[in-house]
Chains A and B, each alone.
Chain A
């Protein structure tokens, strides 16, 4: 196990065929397309080096949870990119900064230098990927939940966890859903349930103007809100607009979507729970990952959404989640919905 034979797609082949404990702390002589060098498997296991078309060259993917990079770090990364990479960096679709045109012989030196600013390499392959998140509630007025904080929590607790296939998690702070929770294996979207108190309400009708969903209609005589909860997206606009504080936040948390994906066989995820608190998020992820491992056994590279489309599977996961989050789980959840291009004429 100390020598890799020449393979074009080294990152995937090496990555998937070795057990985690074998890969740990092994520096090997690697032979890639006839060239020989030393590669630390411990670094490569995360697979953040992606083979390019060009001989010997790889794209190094940085690990940037929530797409946030402190400016100081960015300066050092820029230096390193100039030294080892090409003329530009690329922003991946999942918020990671990528340095293309890195020669595999530079991997070790580059990793060392990145460590000086605590910058790690990201992941590819069948595992929990770097969580993505929207810009964050500290400065985005729409933000209802602290998505950046949650991305850090998930990054620390779950990054790299082995699964049947890739497993993507994202956090959106509001129903605008910039982080596309609908197409994640597991997505969390900020939600606030509005509660109305009659006393402070003056019937000014601003909340009805603020609501984009038609969930609030003013009473024809009093102007006071008639609230249709079935239309509410929990965006909190009524609360933000109300001049007298008659609308107040009730339950605050995350709407949970599961089983979404993009790619060749896109799936729209299932809404499976509502108003999960920040503290409950790790528990939900843990249960889902355990369920995925158990139900994916022997199935090879299959996404959780595909498993959830099999009869009885969604119900089985709902049952598991119910043990931990009780009534917040949605019992009438529908399996992920396929949107293949070849379904249509």
Chain B
């Protein structure tokens, strides 16, 4: 398991969290989006996603909707993302 940090800040606080390790597209993005909608701009959401298509699609979609992926951590077959609401 590699721990790769994106942000210079190693201790990013998390305001909410969702485990989507058993979900498939498009629910991975829909559920991420619903969680993000409930947050205020600048707040952080932690998302755990299966590797492959879900992490691909969620990364692209959250960026396109104006949010920012602050941290990416690979955990075996899963990814842990910390997303800052835009």
A: which residues have CB within 8 A of B?
Answer: 141, 202-206, 209-210, 212, 223, 237, 240-241, 243-244
Contacts and interface: CB of A to CB of B under 8 A. Distances in A.
Provide the main secondary structure of the chain B interface. Answer: mixed
B40 interface: no
Contacts of B69: 204, 206, 243
Nearest to B8: A202
B55 A206 contact: yes
Interface string B40-84: 000000000001100110011101100011101010000100000
A202 B79 contact: no
Interface of B: 2, 4-6, 51-52, 55-56, 59-61, 63-64, 68-70, 72, 74, 79
A-B pairs with lowest CB-CB distance, top 8: A243-B69, A204-B72, A241-B59, A210-B56, A240-B60, A202-B6, A209-B55, A241-B60
Contacts of B6: 202, 204, 243-244
Contacts, number: 50
A240 B64 contact: yes
A52 B52 CA distance: 51
21 contacts: A141-B61, A141-B64, A202-B5, A202-B6, A202-B72, A204-B4, A204-B6, A204-B69, A205-B4, A209-B55, A209-B56, A210-B60, A212-B56, A240-B60, A240-B63, A241-B56, A241-B59, A241-B60, A243-B6, A243-B59, A244-B6
Contacts of B72: 202, 204-206, 243
A297 to B, nearest CB: 50
B4 A209 contact: no
B75 to A, nearest CB: 12
Contacts of B68: 243
Contacts of A203: 4
Among B6, B61, B70, B79: residue with most chain A CB under 10 A: B6
A243 B60 CA distance: 9
A244 B70 CA distance: 8
A223 B4 CA distance: 8
A203 B63 CA distance: 18
Contacts of B63: 240-241, 243
A205 B4 CA distance: 9
